[in-house]
Amino acid sequence: MPGYQSILDRVGLLIAANVNALLERALGANSVAVFDEYVNRMNGALDALQTAEGVERGRAKTLSRQIDELEVEAARLDEDVDRLLDRGERTLAAARQAVYNTKSSLLEQLQEDLASSQQQVAKLADSRAKLAAQIEVAQSKRQQLVALIEQKKAAELRYKAQTGAHVSGPDRMRTGDILERARQELEVAEGKNEAAAATLDARIDDLLGTDEIEAQLQAREAKRLGGRKTEQLPEPK
């Protein structure tokens, strides 16, 4: 539907936005306002998606109910036509057949509408999931942005204190170098955390795998031991 397509197009643009470029703009302005505006727009689009999805899911439920009711009615009309023909009531059978044809045509249209509605629900749900994931990423990036802005301000203050001058021109390049080092340190710390988490996951997987193998070996040993005991039992006299 046109209204839904408009929402889907808007969400597509928000998802495709260059988050890193927005980060650079916000960092250059020493403010999270630009980034907050982007997050707010995504939250607004998410609300619109949830509303649209809810409406379309309700429409799909209505169509499903109408189809079920119409299928019962069409089946009854179909039986009526056969019964009237058996009784020789051809005129009445023809009238019933005409009604049956109308109901069958309506049933086909409702089934097509339901299929279209279900496709719309799937598209809306997919866009909602993608947008929700993008919002989570953006919120994480915002935290990183706040930390970088604080580091940048601290670096500029330190440099001003060291030089006793305002930061401008070539001096700003030196502040940029300090900021770049701060970024690198932050990224290295994040990398270490990820590596530690991966190592822990691997150790857990290895441990679980070892325990499973040990359990299998013990089961085999118990089975073999039980077999040997059976073989050693004296034959009954």
Kindly report, residue by residue over 148-186, the tens digit of the pLDDT. 878 777 776 776 676 655 444 444 445 456 556 655 655
CA nearest to 20, candidates 35, 7, 2, 33: 35
Q: What is the pLDDT of residue 204?
A: 42
Same domain, 169 and 223: yes
Co-location of 41 and 103 in the same domain: yes
Q: Domain for residue 120, yes or no? A: yes
Tokens of 65: 């109910």
Q: Are residues 185 and 123 in the same domain?
A: no
* Contact call for residues 110 and 67 (beta carbons, < 8 A): yes
Contact yes or no for 168/159 (Cβ under 8 A) = no
Which residues, in sequence order, are CB contacts of 14 under 8 Å at separation 6+? 38, 41, 42, 45, 131, 134
Indicate the number of domains in the chain.
Answer: 2
Chosen domain end from 85, 116, 148: 148
Same domain for 144 and 196? Answer: no
Same domain? For 35 and 94 the reply is: yes
Mind listing the pLDDT tens digit for each residue in 20-61?
A: 778 778 877 778 888 888 889 999 999 999 999 999 999 999
What is the C-alpha separation between 101 and 70, in angstroms, rounded? 12
What is the domain extent for residue 58? 1-148
Position 208 scores a pLDDT of 45
Pair 132, 169 in one domain: no
110: in domain = yes
Query: Do 125 and 228 sit in the same domain of this protein?
Result: no
pTM over 0.95: no
48 within 8 A of 140, measured Cβ to Cβ: no
Q: Answer with the one of 148, 182, 209 that is the final residue of a domain.
A: 148
* Contact predicate 105/74, CB 8 Å: no
**pLDDT beyond 80 at 143:** yes
